[in-house]
Structure 1
Amino acid sequence: MTKIIGLTGGIGSGKTTIADYFKELGVPVYIADDGAKRVMQSESIIKELKKAFGESLFDDNILNRAKMAEIVFNDADKLAKLNSLVHPAVIDDFKKWVSEKKEYEYVMYETAILFESGRYKECDVIITVTAPEEVRIERVLKRDNTTREQVLSRMNMQWNDEKRISLSNFVINNDNLKIAKEEVVKILKILNIKQNQS
């Protein structure tokens, strides 16, 4: 039975960078955000999103993700509505993906809202990626076309690190990438996962 490693961390913690490093070392990784982007292109989800949020979010039937983010990250009810539409489809997509990875002892599920969505209950191992708040804010400002206020608003909608850490098996501080990568290697050794030697 393939075991699931849940990888999480707040916005800007660098969890995707850490996930990519696990992938390089031979652990298949499912990025929930990418899964969500895929399922949000399906006709059935587009129909539901239009019904819930209106046609104005779409340009030629393509979801304007920036507009959507602006709406949901300023309104907890709307965020909950979006999640209730998209998450079940992402979970189905993930299960199908896991079923194709039967030869692996461990696979990784990377998501910012592992705890908030309740998905952590289905993980065999949980890793939280952390970084100082200012570092996280700087990373997101560099990466996204956004404001400090918007970043803080998104952070406030997520669990804080203390809460995440209390339910995690491992914590990777991603302030210094070299040290963070060493932590990944240590975790693979503890879990007895054979690393890619390439």
Structure 2
Amino acid sequence: MSARPFLLGLTGSIGMGKSTTARMFAEAGVPVWDADAAVRRLYAKGGAAVPAIAALCPDAVQDDEVDRGALKAWIAEDRTALARIEAAVHPLVARDRAAFVAAHADAPLLLLDIPLLFETGSEGGLDAVLVVTAPPAQQRERVLARPGMTEAQFETILAKQTPDTEKRRRADYVIETRNLEQTRAEVQALMAEIKQRVADA
């Protein structure tokens, strides 16, 4: 057995079934770190990112927590805003991830759920990357079923993400999430493969 956990990064474009797949790993007993949840913690009342955001954009902090609506408005009007926010927040997210890994040092496998894994260069330090995918028509159907989602919003989000074909090319493992039964079976098979890979190391 490895002296440290096997770190499996999970990513996939919007509507590809990433959250559902992460939940399947969690239900199988694998500790899961969620990058989006980490950002929410950092932005919450008393969160580590609150002073940094307040220094960049005082209007984006209300009642000692980050107002994400105000943050989005600032990003929309200032082309330098996003890069400045990322420079302040990404190190804090990395610290949160490192703390999670340290806290689960005895686990054989950890899943790190990182929506923008390739976009943010977060693959460093991972043992493998799993990309979830689905046919484009199924992806579109899933996303447009979300409350308040429009075609224009969907296209804008897609334009900011690494294309699915590129993600799959760069992945160590790919799971196609056409239906729950098949996805769960592939998750179980992958866990068994990684367990064997760790045992053989």
In the alignment, what sits opposite 1:51? 55
TM-superposition CA deviations, 1:22-70 (whole Å, max 9, x none): 1111211001100111112345522322333440x34434333345346
Q: Indicate conservation of the 8 Å contact 1:73/1:154, yes or no.
A: no
SS where residue 112 of structure 1 aligns? coil
> Cα RMSD over matched residues?
2.4
- The CA deviation at 1:72 is 4.5
- The CA deviation at 1:162 is 1.4
In the alignment, what sits opposite 2:29? 26
The change in CA–CA distance for 1:150 and 1:38 in structure 2 (over 3 A counts) is same
Structure 2 stretches lacking a partner, 5+ long = 197-201
Distance in 1, matches of 2:30 and 2:96, equals 18
In the alignment, what sits opposite 1:113? 116
- The CA deviation at 1:144 is 4.8
Q: TM-score, normalised by structure 1?
A: 0.85
Distance in 2, matches of 1:43 and 1:192, equals 36
For these two proteins, the number of residue pairs brought into alignment is 192
Instruction: Among all aligned residue pairs of Structure 1 and Structure 2, give the percentage whose two residues are the same amino acid.
Output: 28
In the alignment, what sits opposite 2:190? 187
1:122 equivalenced with 2:125 (yes/no): yes
Structure 1 stretches lacking a partner, 5+ long = 194-198
Distance in 2, matches of 1:166 and 1:121, equals 17
The amino acid that maps onto 2:119 is E
Distance in 2, matches of 1:30 and 1:180, equals 20
The change in CA–CA distance for 1:3 and 1:72 in structure 2 (over 3 A counts) is farther
In the alignment, what sits opposite 2:86? 83
Distance in 2, matches of 1:134 and 1:66, equals 30
Q: TM-score, normalised by structure 2?
A: 0.83
Distance in 2, matches of 1:131 and 1:104, equals 30
Give the number of the structure whose alpha-carbon radius of gyration is greater. Answer: 2
